[in-house]
């Protein structure tokens, strides 16, 4: 017999499992990490509260993504009235998130990205870490400390990101061949 | 159709650095080009992984060597550095503005979702093995889960870690700070289960009695277990509410946050930005414990009650005054007093200063406050709970900056005031990721 407790536990487990693609969808839709955090929390609450309505765990991601879609729309309606969002765009991104998850789970890509970060030369790794380490330092400050002009620094970061994406693609390809 | 410049456009779209016209054109393409939309999802995912990795790497590099309590103070810059940081911040924001917010993302990023550690560790970095019963006989221990959840357990307690985001508390109490990355954090007790939905909450379990949950921020789901291992019932416990999972009555009783501790402390009421905590951890203001790092929330800890002063105590009786002579006060020897510690430690990223404003209403007169580091250290022997057995123990303090204004009161970083009837303490503390604000409040003990 499935108890409410089992259901909650299952919901929490599935949320953890699909956190990355759900979060990526929300982040792509609102493009603000702080707002994405809030929306993800709202989605998590809604998922746990209404998990008993889910007919099959096989469709969990589609179901949770639908909840996220509604929350993102609600976010734009409530907080960004001056910039009305195109609901079609949010729907398109939701479908894209589902396709991405079906083709190649985001968690796999995440794993490859971490591997690729390890393979970067230390100089590049330190540079990209500086950009993402929450230190709050501006591009100008980091550029100055690196002995580069801002435009050159921006270009360098773009190149590192490109290298990382190529590395991810290569590793995913190798894995599919194996 | 993917175009040559799309990589850059996708990144700049995520970074919010495109112009309104460029956004409009790009969103039209996103609606019509499924492959481009898929790439945006992948890039958004990459961005999050990089942010988490960067934050985790920074955190790992910031973990200090284990050493005496005093040495950890070195991680917290002296308060005089604050002025320098504020001016650096001003420059940074100017550059940010000029760059159109390319790095705005960083300023809004929060707790990392990735931890470089693979399992649960103590705040010292020592790993904690799963499914091994741990007994804490004295003091406190902070567990760091890989998901970002931080749990401060107070002795006496027995517990075990059951997974990367779950634990079992057999006996004792803890306070947990769970960021969004740790949503789903699960605590089992002999009476039920608590599933966190991103929050700050505490759990107290008396093995043969009940489990009490208090939610300060966010929500949790509390479930009561029956004898066959299923559940009797479940309830969502909301912010500023508490619940008791009572095995004897087979029920979950929910109530607004209990005031019993406040009553015991002689506190009539306090503002929403204030959290009253019964147990003060051994080492505050050293960066050792992170549970109490919270933006916009100040904690109040009762330190020592019913202390009879053996000699006169100099302190600040009128903190809103600007001159030293007008601020000064003295409590005569023989007076019996209660001492509370106010503590504020925001967790926002470096460079950002977050204020907290609060009020606490006591049912007895507030005799004064101890605001600066030197006087906090000097009065430890009187008021620090751990000095009861060893008056010479030393602790690290940070104090406040209520007197920084000097000639210009508006230049103060922190403000503390006591009402004319001396029953209400109000404060506005401004602090950042690498700073804490703390001070003592001395209140007359009940007769």
CATH number of the domain that residue B165 is part of:
2.60.120.1440
How many CB pairs (< 8 A) connect A and B?
217
Both A46 and A117 in a single domain?
A: no
Contacts of B37 in chain A (CB under 8 A): 92-93, 95-96
Name the CA dihedral angle for A154, A157, A162, A167, rounded to a multiple of 10 degrees.
180
CB contacts, 8 Å: B13 with chain A: 31
Q: Which long-range contacts (CB under 8 A, 24 or more apart) does A144-150 make?
A: A150/B99
Tell me the three state secondary structure of residue A153: helix
User: Tokens 């053996």 — which residue?
Assistant: B310
DSSP state of B76: S
**Could you tell me if B290 and B415 lie in one domain?**
yes
Specify whether the CB–CB gap between B444 and B374 falls below 8 A: no
Q: Tokens 């508006």, residue?
A: B410
Domain shared by A10 and A75, yes or no = yes
B215 and B353 assigned to the same domain: no
| Residues of chain B above pLDDT 90, percent | 28
Could you report the predicted ipTM of this complex, rounded to two decimals?
0.90
Q: Where does residue B89 fall: left (phi above 0), alpha (psi -120 to 50 degrees), or beta otherwise?
A: alpha
Residues in chain A within 8 Å Cβ distance of B44: 24-25, 27-28
Per-residue pLDDT band at B347 (split at 50, 70, 90): confident
Chain A residue whose CA is closest to B187: A9
Q: How many domains does chain A have?
A: 2
With CA atoms as reference, the chain A residue closest to B8 would be A158
Q: Is position B83 within any domain?
A: no
Which residue of B12, B118, B183 is the best one to mutate when testing the A interface, meaning the one whose CB has the most A CBs within 10 A? Answer: B183
Under an 8 A CB cutoff, do A20 and B45 touch?
Answer: yes
Q: Are B250 and B224 in contact (CB under 8 A)?
A: yes
* Residue whose token pair is 């009783």: B253
Which one of A103, A119, A142 terminates a domain? A103
Tokens at A10, concatenated: 């299952």
For residue A174 the two structure tokens come to 């190798």
Answer yes or no: do B279 and B420 share one domain. Answer: yes
CA dist A63 and A56 (Å) reads: 10
Residues 194-213 (B) with a CB less than 8 A from some CB of A: 195, 197-198
Q: How many domains does chain B divide into?
A: 3
**CATH number, domain with residue A126:** 1.10.10.10
Whether residue A97 is found in the same domain as residue A112: no
**Per-residue pLDDT, B69:** 31
Contact B399, B373 (CB under 8 A): yes
> A33-49 and A60-79 helices cross at what angle (nearest 10)?
130
Residue A32 vs residues A35, B105, B135: alpha-carbon distances, Å: 5, 6, 42
Same domain, A42 and A61: yes
Nearest residue of A to residue B223 by CA position? A5
Which residue in B281, B382, B296 sits closest to B331, CA to CA? B382
CA torsion, ordered B65, B68, B74, B78, to nearest 10 deg: 160
**A112 and A170 fall within a common domain:** yes
A156 with A130, same domain: the answer is yes
Tell me, yes or no, whether A43 and A89 share the same domain.
Answer: yes
Closest CA to B346 of B331, B356, B360: B356
Of B221, B241, B239, which Cα lies nearest the Cα of B231?
B221
Query: Domain end: A52, A69, A103, which one?
Result: A103
Residue B38 lies in a domain: yes
Residues A116 and A91 in one domain: no
Query: Which pLDDT tens digit goes with each residue over B355-404?
Result: 889 999 999 999 999 998 889 999 999 999 888 878 778 787 888 877 54
pLDDT recorded at residue B286 = 63
| Rounded CA separation A13/A17 (Å) | 6
Q: Which of A77, A103, A129 is the last residue of a domain?
A: A103
- How far apart, in whole angstroms, are the C-alpha atoms of residue B89 and residue A161? 27
Q: Which one is predicted more confidently, B80 or B139?
A: B139
**Domain, as residue range, for B151:** 121-258
**CB-based contact B435:B359 (threshold 8 Å):** no
Find the range with the poorest average confidence among A16-20, A118-122, B22-26: A16-20
pLDDT digits (tens, 9 = 90+) for B7-47: 888 888 887 878 888 888 999 999 999 999 999 999 999 98
A147 lies in the same domain as A60: no
Nearest to B147 by CA among B180, B122, B195, B169: B180
Nearest residue of A to residue B56, measured between CA atoms: A133
Cis status, amide bond into B156, omega within 30 of 0: yes
| Subunit contact B27:A86, Cβ cutoff 8 A | yes
* CB-facing half-sphere around the CA of B69: CA atoms within 13 A: 11
B246 in a structural domain: yes
Chain A contact probe: residue of B40, B146, B186, B194 with most A CBs at under 10 A = B40
User: Long-range contacts of range A113-122, CB-CB < 8 Å, 24 or more positions apart?
Assistant: A113/A164, A113/A168, A113/B46, A113/B49, A113/B50, A114/B49, A114/B53, A114/B114, A115/A171, A116/A163, A116/A164, A116/A167, A116/A168, A116/A171, A117/A164, A117/B50, A117/B53, A119/A167, A120/A160, A120/A163, A120/A164
One domain, residues B212 and B313: no
Pairwise CB contact (< 8 Å): A99 & B38: yes
Q: How far is CA B151 from the centre of its chain?
A: 11
* Mean pLDDT to the nearest integer, A149-173: 85
What angle do helix axes B6-14 and A150-177 make, rounded to 10 degrees? 110
Q: Domain check: are B286 and B392 in the same one?
A: yes
Structural domain harbouring A91: 4-103
Domain membership flag for residue B76: no
- Residue listed under structure tokens 């605001």: B371
Query: Residue for token digits 């175009």?
Result: B3
> With contacts defined as CB-CB under 8 Å, which chain B residues touch A93?
30, 37, 40-41
- List all residues 6 or more positions away from B138 whose beta carbon is below 8 Å from its beta carbon: B155, B156
- The reply to whether B85 falls in a domain is no
Q: Where are the alpha helices (DSSP H) in B291-385?
A: 324-327, 373-378, 380-383
Average pLDDT over residues B200-226: 84
Q: Say whether B11 sits in a helix, a strand or coil.
A: helix
Q: Could you tell me the two tokens for B309?
A: 């002063």
Distance CA B179, CA B112 (A): 9
In terms of domains, do A74 and A13 share one?
yes
Within 92-151 of B, beta carbons closer than 8 Å to A belong to 92-93, 95-96, 99, 102-103, 105-110, 112-114, 147
Query: Do both B322 and B416 map to the same domain?
Result: yes
* pLDDT given at position A80: 54
pLDDT of residue B388: 81
Which chain A residues touch B223 with a CB distance below 8 Å?
4-5, 8
Angle, helix B20-32 to helix B6-14, in steps of 10 degrees: 110
State the Cα angle at B62 between A122 and B175, rounded to 5°: 135
Residues A114 and A90 reside in one and the same domain? no
Joined together, the tokens standing for residue B151 give 């749990």
- Under the banding of pLDDT at 50, 70 and 90, the label for residue B341 is very high
Residue whose token pair is 């990023």: B109
Q: Please indicate if any CB of chain A lies within 8 Å of the CB of B23.
A: no
Shortest distance between the Cα of B446 and any Cα of chain A, in A, equals 44
Select from B252, B258, B162, B248 the least CA-distant residue to B207. Answer: B248
| CA–CA gap between residue B296 and residue A21 (Å, rounded) | 30
Does the residue B435 lie in any domain? Answer: yes
Residue B229: the pLDDT is: 61
> Could you give the CA distance from residue B46 to residue A110 in angstroms, rounded to a whole number?
7
Write out the two tokens for A154. 């921006």
pLDDT band at B113 (very low <50, low <70, confident <90, very high): very low
Q: Which of B12, B36, B62 is the last residue of a domain?
A: B62
Mean pLDDT (chain B) is 78
Residues B321 and B300 in one domain: yes
Looking at the fold, whether B245 and B205 belong to one and the same domain comes out as yes
Whether B7 and A162 lie within 8 Å, measured CB to CB: yes
Q: Are A12 and A99 in the same domain?
A: yes
Q: Return the structure tokens found at A138.
A: 């501006």
Write out chain B residues lying below 8 Å of A31, CB-based. Answer: 13-16
Nearest C-alpha neighbor of B338 from the set B387, B277, B385: B385
Q: Give the pair of three-digit tokens for residue A62.
A: 């589609």
- List, in sequence order, every residue forming a beta bridge with B307; answer none if it has no partner: B337
Cβ-contact B153, B130 below 8 angstroms: no
Domain of residue A25, CATH code: 1.10.1740
Q: Are residues B418 and B336 in the same domain?
A: yes
Q: Could you tell me which residues are beta bridge partners of residue B22?
A: none
Residue A105 near residue A21, CB atoms below 8 Å: yes
Nearest to B45 among A35, A49, A106 (CB): A106
* Mutation target among B49, B220, B229, B433 for the A interface, most CBs of A within 10 A: B49
Q: Are residues B308 and B428 in the same domain?
A: yes
Among all residues of chain B, which has the CA nearest to that of A4? B231
Last residue of a domain, one of B41, B62, B83: B62
Among B11, B103, B179, beta carbon nearest to A139 = B103
Q: Are residues B236 and B266 in the same domain?
A: no
- What would the pLDDT profile of B269-323 be if each residue is shown by its tens digit? 898 889 888 777 776 766 667 788 887 889 999 999 999 999 999 999 999 888 8
The residue from B211, B240, B258 where one domain ends is: B258
Contacts of B107 in chain A (CB under 8 A): 136
Which pLDDT score, from 0 to 100, does residue B394 have?
Answer: 79
Judgement on whether residues B301 and B414 belong to the same structural domain of the protein: yes
**Min CA distance, B167 vs chain A (Å)?**
13
Contact: B102, A139; criterion CB under 8 Å: yes
Are the beta carbons of A28 and B14 separated by less than 8 Å? yes
pLDDT at res. B258: 58
pLDDT digits (tens, 9 = 90+) for B165-186: 889 999 999 999 988 778 888 8
Share of chain B above pLDDT 70, in %: 78
Touching check for B53 and chain A: CB below 8 Å?
yes
Sole residue written with tokens 């009539």? B268
Chain A interface, best mutation among B14, B34, B36, B41, by max A CB count within 10 A: B41
Q: Quick one: pLDDT at residue B233?
A: 76
Q: How far is B390 from chain A (nearest CA, A)?
A: 39
Classify residue B69: in a domain, yes or no: no
């Amino acid at each position: 017999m499935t108890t409410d407790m089992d259901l909650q536990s299952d919901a929490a487990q599935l949320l953890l499992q699909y956190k990355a693609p759900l979060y990526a969808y929300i982040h792509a839709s609102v493009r603000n990490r702080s707002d994405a955090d809030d929306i993800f929390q709202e989605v998590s609450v809604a998922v746990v509260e209404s998990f008993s309505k889910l007919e099959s765990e096989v469709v969990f991601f589609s179901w949770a993504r639908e909840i996220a879609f509604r929350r993102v729309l609600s976010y734009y309606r409530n907080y960004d009235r001056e910039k009305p969002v195109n609901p079609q765009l949010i729907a398109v991104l939701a479908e894209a998130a589902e396709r991405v998850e079906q083709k190649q789970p985001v968690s796999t890509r995440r794993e490859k990205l971490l591997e690729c970060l390890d393979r970067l030369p230390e100089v590049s790794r330190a540079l990209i870490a500086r950009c993402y380490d929450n230190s709050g330092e501006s591009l100008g400050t980091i550029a100055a400390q690196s002995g580069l002009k801002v435009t050159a620094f921006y270009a360098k970061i773009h190149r590192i990101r490109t290298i990382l994406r190529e590395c991810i693609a290569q590793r995913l390809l190798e894995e599919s061949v194996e | 159709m993917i175009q040559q410049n799309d990589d850059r456009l996708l990144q700049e779209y995520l970074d919010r650095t495109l112009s309104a016209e460029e956004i409009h054109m790009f969103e039209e393409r996103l609606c019509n080009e499924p492959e481009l939309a898929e790439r945006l999802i992948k890039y958004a995912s990459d961005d999050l992984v990089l942010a988490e990795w960067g934050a985790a790497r920074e955190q790992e590099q910031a973990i200090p060597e284990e050493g005496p309590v005093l040495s950890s103070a070195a991680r917290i810059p002296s308060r005089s550095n604050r002025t320098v940081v504020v001016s650096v911040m001003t420059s940074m924001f100017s550059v940010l503005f000029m760059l159109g917010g390319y790095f705005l993302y960083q300023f809004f990023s929060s707790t990392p979702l990735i931890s470089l550690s693979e399992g649960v560790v103590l705040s010292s970095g020592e790993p904690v093995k799963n499914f091994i019963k741990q007994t804490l006989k004295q003091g406190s221990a902070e567990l760091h889960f890989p998901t970002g959840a931080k749990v401060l357990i107070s002795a006496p307690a027995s517990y075990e870690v059951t997974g990367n985001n779950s634990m079992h508390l057999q006996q004792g109490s803890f306070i947990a700070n769970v960021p969004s990355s740790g949503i789903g954090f699960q605590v089992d007790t002999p009476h039920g289960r608590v599933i966190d939905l991103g929050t700050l909450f505490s759990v107290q379990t008396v093995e043969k009695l009940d489990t009490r949950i208090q939610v300060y921020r966010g929500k949790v789901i509390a479930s009561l277990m029956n004898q066959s291992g299923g559940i009797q019932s479940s309830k969502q416990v909301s912010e500023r509410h508490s619940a008791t999972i009572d095995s004897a009555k087979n029920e979950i009783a929910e109530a607004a946050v209990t005031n019993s501790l406040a009553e015991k402390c002689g506190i009539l009421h306090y503002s929403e930005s204030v959290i009253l905590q019964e147990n003060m951890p051994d080492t505050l203001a050293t960066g050792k414990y992170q549970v109490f790092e919270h933006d916009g929330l100040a904690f109040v800890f009762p330190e020592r009650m019913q202390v009879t002063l053996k000699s006169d105590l100099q302190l600040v009786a009128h903190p809103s005054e600007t001159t030293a002579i007008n601020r000064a006060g003295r409590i005569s020897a023989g007076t019996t007093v209660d001492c509370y510690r106010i503590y504020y430690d925001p967790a926002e990223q470096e460079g950002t200063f977050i204020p907290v404003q609060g009020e606490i209403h006591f049912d007895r007169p507030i005799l004064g406050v101890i605001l600066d580091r030197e006087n906090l250290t000097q009065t430890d022997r009187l008021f620090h709970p751990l000095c009861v057995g060893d008056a010479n123990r030393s602790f690290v303090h940070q104090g406040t900056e209520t007197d920084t204004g000097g000639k210009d009161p508006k230049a103060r970083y922190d403000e503390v005031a006591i009402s004319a009837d001396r029953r209400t303490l109000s404060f506005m503390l401004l602090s950042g990721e690498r700073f804490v604000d703390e001070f003592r409040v001395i209140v007359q003990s009940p007769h």
